[in-house]
Chain A
């Protein structure tokens, strides 16, 4: 990004200056071909261009899909067109209480996510700050981390029944043990220099931790929280398919039973939209919080 030679428009005035040594009056602006501008290796294209390209690409995919179904290239029974899905989604809002089910799912995700975060952040920090805590926890965490969540569904039902506890437990299980290692890693990556600066100006260990180390790891921590929130949605659907009478997973699974493909898709789209919106919001928050980066 800092290399001016990599930017075609930035290098243009330089080339022009070389040519202009004969007479400074004539300085032709070098026109950059469209392709070269948007396909310069690793070069930025500007935020507005990025958003526009993102929207246009999505519309093209949707349009291709719609056309393919309309012309009968693919079977509408298995692949209902986007227009149909949108209409179904609209209908489900009033007929099937989609908002209620969405609310239930969101509440489960956030409940389990907050539980994971509240437990993983202090424990992860302890693991990286004190090697003996790390040594004690790592084998256990690594073992559980590799267990596939679906494999523990039966156990979870035996332990907690089919109520809310099971769902929260499964989501927690899927994220806590991942997050704890990410937190420990974030803390480990805080440069030793920061710690030592704090110590040499008279900070006590707890002050070093809260005023400097935690503050230094915060941007990475927020990023990792955003990522584990995404995992929560993956496990939520597993939990809701297996044992639930509410939530988006339940809606999707019920629709499948009646071969209502467009309702299944509408449920999936809802999850995707929630993911897209919450991820963008968290990114925005990240940029606001960490302007200094």
Chain B
């Protein structure tokens, strides 16, 4: 399995007596794959994602990125949180610049160029000098995405990033995120408890049981829809059916139905 890009190898995680990730969790992720962690709130999926970021360490086992054990955060893996995802005291441009603040390999001119490139990509070029408090929740999430891309992260870790948005903005951002992922060839781990969001975004959905986290099922969405996603797809029979299948899996794994 050495060729795999990101590998969860025999992970367990306990917080004191509380088992958060059940022994043992194995998963391997390919480069450029869009993985969605789907499961009930508090099931441990966020903890798993944080371990990829290096913000938490497994109690046992290891996570490897390109064969290298992840021990602490670094620039190759960027985080997009649901709330407090950008700094209020920096302008939009300042927030994106912050992603490159500790990169000594880039010249100031190169940094400015990257900043403008990614601001443009997420559609915030006109708001470069605005402070985040003047922007909508969706725009603030786009700041965070631009910051992580500018930082040069290969893996984007997104913890319910669209959780607080209304349905329309959410749909727009989902579409954009897929586009950005394809354009910039990123690997994404996206945590959500929204089934429809999971089916629309994912190449592969990992359905979790309730805590302690265990893989209930893995759904290969890319096998059905390929890499291309459109809004029309959402109305298709196939999408509907897949959504219902996944929904049933979630209910079953959460123990709501037998």
Interface residues of A (CB under 8 A from B): 191, 193-194, 196-197, 199-204, 207, 211-212, 215-216, 218, 290-293
Contacts and interface: CB of A to CB of B under 8 A. Distances in A.
Contacts of A218: 89
B164 to A, nearest CB: 13
Contacts of A194: 84, 87
B169 interface: no
Which label, helix, strand, loop or mixed, suits the secondary structure of the B interface? loop
Contact of A193 (B73, B83, B147): B83
A202 B87 contact: no
Contacts of B144: 197
B77 A200 contact: yes
A195 to B, nearest CB: 9
Contact of A201 (B55, B83, B102): B102
Given A199-B73, A292-B88, A293-B133, A211 B81 contact: no
A213 to B, nearest CB: 11
A290 B88 CA distance: 10
Given A201-B151, A202-B74, A292-B133, A196 B101 contact: no
A204 B98 CA distance: 14
Contacts of A292: 88-89, 131-133
Nearest to A197: B79
B218 interface: no
B30 to A, nearest CB: 22
21 contacts: A191-B83, A193-B81, A193-B84, A194-B84, A196-B79, A196-B81, A197-B81, A199-B54, A199-B72, A200-B54, A201-B75, A201-B78, A201-B99, A201-B147, A202-B73, A202-B75, A203-B102, A204-B102, A207-B102, A216-B87, A292-B131
A193 B80 CA distance: 9
Q: How large is the interface on B (under 10, 10 to 19, 20 to 34, 35 or more residues)?
A: 20 to 34
Nearest to B85: A193
Which label, helix, strand, loop or mixed, suits the secondary structure of the A interface? helix
A277 B132 CA distance: 32
Contacts of B81: 193, 196-197
Interface string B145-162: 001000101000000000
B103 interface: yes
B137 interface: no
Contact of A202 (B102, B132, B133): B102
B140 to A, nearest CB: 12
Given A193-B85, A194-B84, 8 more contacts: A197-B79, A197-B85, A197-B98, A200-B55, A201-B99, A201-B100, A216-B89, A293-B133
Nearest to B157: A200
A223 to B, nearest CB: 15
B53 interface: yes
A196 B72 CA distance: 11
Nearest to B77: A200
A197 B85 CA distance: 8
A200 B73 CA distance: 5
Contacts of B85: 193, 197
A215 B90 CA distance: 10
Interface string B99-114: 1111100000000000
Contacts of B77: 200
Nearest to B104: A202
B167 to A, nearest CB: 20
A291 B130 CA distance: 11
| Most B C-beta atoms less than 10 A away, residue of A197, A215, A216, A292 | A197
B54 to A, nearest CB: 8
A290 B133 CA distance: 12
A291 B153 CA distance: 31
A202 B103 contact: yes
A200 B84 contact: no
Contacts of A200: 53-55, 73-75, 77-79, 151, 153
Contacts of A212: 87
A198 to B, nearest CB: 8
A196 B131 CA distance: 21
A215 B144 CA distance: 18
Nearest to A211: B101
Contacts of B103: 202
Contacts of A203: 101-102
A199 B50 CA distance: 12
A191 B73 CA distance: 18
A203 B73 CA distance: 10
A205 to B, nearest CB: 11
B97 to A, nearest CB: 10
Contacts of B55: 196, 199-200
A201 B131 contact: no
Closest 4 CB pairs of A and B: A202-B102, A193-B84, A191-B84, A292-B131
Nearest to B131: A292
A109 to B, nearest CB: 30
Contacts of B132: 292
